Every structure is written in C-alpha cells, then in structure tokens.
Amino acid sequence: MTAATEAASLENLHVLYQSDDFIVLDKHWDLRIDSKMWYENNTVQAQLRHRFPQLADPDTYYGFRFCHQLDFSTSGALCVALNKAAAGRAYRCFKDRTVTKAYLALLRGWVEENRTIDFSIGKNSTEGKTHMMCIEGTEGKLCLDNVENVQPPARKYGTYNGEPATKVLLEPLTGRTHQLRVHCSAVGHPIVGDFTYSLGADDAPYRMMLHAHLLRLPLKPHTLQVTAGDPLLPTVDPKWLPQRTLRTAEDAVESLLDSVAAKEEQLEEEKEKKRREAEEEKRKVKKKNKKKAESEEQKRLCQDWLSEWGGGGD
C-alpha cells in the first residue's frame, strides 16, 4: 500500500491554498467533512482543529465554515472560509452559480458520447435506500466532457482490473447531492468503486474513483482558483491501465477556464453597458428637470414683471 492509498488520519491533511480568509484542502477519500456522531473522530473538521487550533471559530458548531460539500467517498478541492464575511462572499458565488468545478472520474465501460446530462434528481423513497438519490425529482445538470462543444472531450480509454474503463472530466452545472454519481450510473457508466450506486457490487477498488480536480470562485477583488492534483493514475493504482488518450484533462481544463473567462468578460461588458445607459438616463432626467425648473423660474419672473408693469399703470 502506498501513501496515496492509505486511509485518512488526523495528520495527513493536505493544504492546497491558505489566506487570511480561506483554506482550500485536498480532501482525502472516504472521509466525512464533519459528524455529530461521538464515535467518528476522524473528519475534515477534526483534521483542521488538529492542524489549525488557533483558526477554529467558537461561534460555529464545527469550528470551521465549509463553503460547499464533498461526498464521503469523493476526494479533492474543498474550500473552508475562516470568517463570517468570507463565508458570505463564497456563499453568494455558489448561490449565483458562478463557481466553476470540474471532477476527474474513472467510469465503467468505454464512454463514446459527449453530452450534457439533465436528468432530474430526487431522494430515493424505496425502503432501505433512503440514503440514496435517484432520477426524477429536483433538477440537476451535468456536463460530460463537453466544453462548449468546440473541441474533443478529455478522455482516456483503458481497462480497470481487466474491464473496459474511461477516465473523463465532469463539470457539474448544478449542485445536487450525489449528482455526478447518479447521472453517470443513469447513462450506463457508473463510477469505478461506487459501492452505493452499484448496490454493493463494485467493492473491489480501494476507493471510489471520483476526484474534485478544479475549484474556481470569482471572488472580489481576486479570484480563488485551485487545482487538486490527479490521483487517478496507474502509478497510484496499477489496476488502471490507460491505452489511448483522446484529449488530456489539462487541455480540457484550460479550455474550460478560457470559456469561463470569456463569459465573465462578456458579463462585465454588459454590466458596464448597463451602467453607462443608467448614467445617461440619469443625465437626461437631470437635464429635463433642470429645463423644467428654468422654465418655471422664467414663467415666475415673467409673471412678476407683468404684475409690476400692470401696477405701474394705475
């Protein structure tokens, strides 16, 4: 067993980024962010308290403000706000859906399609499966390797433990619970090692092969952008044997970020246009009001003169 495949511990907290306002972690697989269960001592919250006891906020239940969630089985970039104001700024980005996220995943089978998956997702009401999500319910969208439909998808074909598998880049366009896992399973390409959505059948891999690779929050005045390194490599798990690369994830991520930057620039231009239009409208109203005031003043002076002139003739 290598260091990359060892279970999480309080000591193996990997920090990708740290400032006065935020910490971004490379969350370990099979690790809860927090827990109210007395017997679960090993969580991301416990790791943070162990490494940064001075940063824990006594005004919060867990001591730290997690800006978003990652599943127990998912590894990768996780953002933590270190104060209330920073948490509010990050919350607005998630609420306005301006956050860019991309995940690396190893899927069962050879994925050929390049598509946006928009199945609705809701809670599974089946007895014994209420901890799961299922198709039909609240809306959820997933972009499967599809960066503006311009270039080929980021994709590596190969085998995992002798069976066909494809490494892909996933971009969630909304943020539903288990969204990536449910959608991939729904199109016939479940994530390798997803014990839950294989109904317990896929239990051979040491982990679920889903990793939060890119996280970008367009905060002001500086954007927070972090990449968590790729753990889905044959050097980490020799059972994964890539054979053919259609497009690298690095190239796809670069295209995705270029697309995001172009959209943000367009939005800024539209905002600036609206600001100028509002200022011009304000100037016109002010000019109109000024003319009206001048006209009323001239009318008053004229009436005063006529009164004086009329009075002078008596």
Confidence check: pLDDT of 313 > 60: no
Q: Which residues are catalytic?
A: 71
Question: Is there a single domain that holds both residue 164 and residue 195?
Answer: yes
Question: Is there a single domain that holds both residue 110 and residue 47?
Answer: no
Question: Is there a single domain that holds both residue 88 and residue 73?
Answer: yes
Rounded mean pLDDT of the chain?
Answer: 83
Q: What distance in Å separates the CA atoms of residue 231 and residue 207, rounded to the nearest whole number? A: 11
Question: Is there a single domain that holds both residue 144 and residue 180?
Answer: yes
- Rounded (5°) CA angle 218-224-229: 125
Counting Cα atoms < 13 Å in the Cβ hemisphere of 48 gives: 27
Q: What distance in Å separates the CA atoms of residue 40 and residue 56, rounded to the nearest whole number? A: 19
Question: Is there a single domain that holds both residue 139 and residue 34?
Answer: no
Question: Is there a single domain that holds both residue 111 and residue 240?
Answer: yes
Domain-located, residue 274: yes
Confidence check: pLDDT of 278 > 60: yes
Chain-centre distance for alpha carbon 174: 8
Question: Is there a single domain that holds both residue 90 and residue 73?
Answer: yes
pLDDT, tens digit (0-9, with 9 covering 90-100), for 44-65: 999 999 999 999 998 888 899 9
Q: What distance in Å separates the CA atoms of residue 127 and residue 98, rounded to the nearest whole number? A: 37
Number of domains making up the chain: 2
pLDDT at 216: 97
Q: Is 124 helix (H, G, I), strand (E, B) or coil?
A: coil
Question: Is there a single domain that holds both residue 158 and residue 248?
Answer: yes
pLDDT at 179: 78
pLDDT bracket for residue 124 (50, 70, 90): very low
Domain-located, residue 271: yes
Strand ranges (DSSP E) for the chain? 15-18, 22-27, 65-66, 75-81, 100-108, 115-117, 121-123, 133-135, 142-144, 155-160, 163-172, 210-217, 224-227, 240-247
Q: What distance in Å separates the CA atoms of residue 177 and residue 171, rounded to the nearest whole number? A: 14
What value does the mean pLDDT take over residues 145-159?
Answer: 61
Contacts of 259 (CB under 8 A, 6+ apart): 147, 148
Q: What distance in Å separates the CA atoms of residue 249 and residue 242, rounded to the nearest whole number? A: 13
Question: Is there a single domain that holds both residue 199 and residue 118?
Answer: yes
pLDDT, tens digit (0-9, with 9 covering 90-100), for 156-193: 999 999 999 999 998 887 666 577 888 788 888 899 99
Domain-located, residue 84: yes
Domain carrying residue 48:
1-96
Are 246 and 157 in contact by the 8 Å Cβ rule? The answer is yes
For the record, the structure tokens of 237 come out as 């798990």
Q: Which residue in the block uniquely carries the two structure tokens 């509002």?
A: 278
pLDDT bracket for residue 310 (50, 70, 90): low
